[in-house]
Amino acid sequence: MIVVICPGIHPPELTKAFGAALEGAIAVQASFDISAQAAAARALQLWLLPSEIAPYGPDLIRSYVLERWQQAELSSGFPTAWIGFSAGVVGAVAAARCWQRDGGEVTGLIAVDGWGVPLGDRFPRFRLGHDRFTAQSCEWLGASDGYFYCDPAVGHLELWRSPQQSSGHWQPNLKSPFDLDFGRLGNCQSIDAAQLLAQLLILLAQTQKLQP
């Protein structure tokens, strides 16, 4: 599964640090002796949006992904998941919708601190917030399929730069309209953001063509 990562407006070093932390968390999950989970983790490919592309521009994001897609000679049915941070949530949501509209498979979207951005309901969506207010107040725009908030709260950019050092609480939506098997994530628990992201991506990689 291709994971398209749309950062916000900030130094690109933060996104590189985020990518490294997420790769590390995925590697840990891949080392577990659970064959299906390990295989799904190893199959994940992270595509970080270059800093020269506006993170809020869905057409530019889509063009970048399509170019890489063609270079990799991937089939149209190859699954994607999308991660957006801050202003990048705007671009990630819009680009994912366009990708799905054009026949591509979108298994889900994860919004990191995308305060005030509606995520829609065309695919599974999750929210991560640097504090409780950010995560829970966004639920007023439409319940997600699960949300996480840092506790203790961390800075907005700190969550992106160091998700492995940002611990908090995960709350799944067990009434999600999608057929999601949360497994070990099925109960509210304490976890760090990098571990949660890795487990959510593995969940999405194992669950394709979801319908509400």
* Topology (CATH level 3) of domain 2-170+197-206: Rossmann fold (3.40.50)
Cβ neighbours of residue 194 under 8 Å, at least 6 residues apart?
Answer: 21, 22, 24, 25, 163, 164, 166
Q: Give me the pLDDT at residue 187, please.
A: 66
The C-alpha atoms of residue 124 and residue 70 are separated, in whole angstroms, by 26
Taking residues 178-196, report their average pLDDT.
82
pLDDT band for position 165 (cuts 50, 70, 90): very high
Domain boundaries, the chain: 2-170+197-206
Q: What is the mean pLDDT of the chain?
A: 90
CA distance 55 to 148: 23
**What gap in Å lies between CA 210 and CA 71, rounded to an integer?**
27
For 40, the token pair is 């799904």
pLDDT exceeds 90 at position 160: yes
Return the structure tokens found at 172. Answer: 């799944």
Share of the chain above pLDDT 70, in %: 96
Span 142-156, average pLDDT: 93
Query: Higher model confidence: residue 88 or residue 32?
Result: 88
Per-residue pLDDT tens for 38-68? 888 888 999 999 989 988 889 999 999 999 9
**Count of beta carbons in the 10 Å neighbourhood of residue 137:** 13
Per DSSP, the residues of 110-141 read: EEES-TT----SSS-EEEEESSHHHHHHHGGG
The C-alpha angle 191, 109, 7, rounded to 5 degrees, equals 85
**pLDDT by residue (tens digit) across 52-108?**
998 888 999 999 999 999 999 998 889 999 999 999 999 999 999 999 999 999 999
pLDDT above 70: residue 212: no
Find the mean pLDDT for residues 182-191: 75
- Residue 140 is predicted with a pLDDT of 86
Residue 196 has pLDDT above 70, yes or no: yes
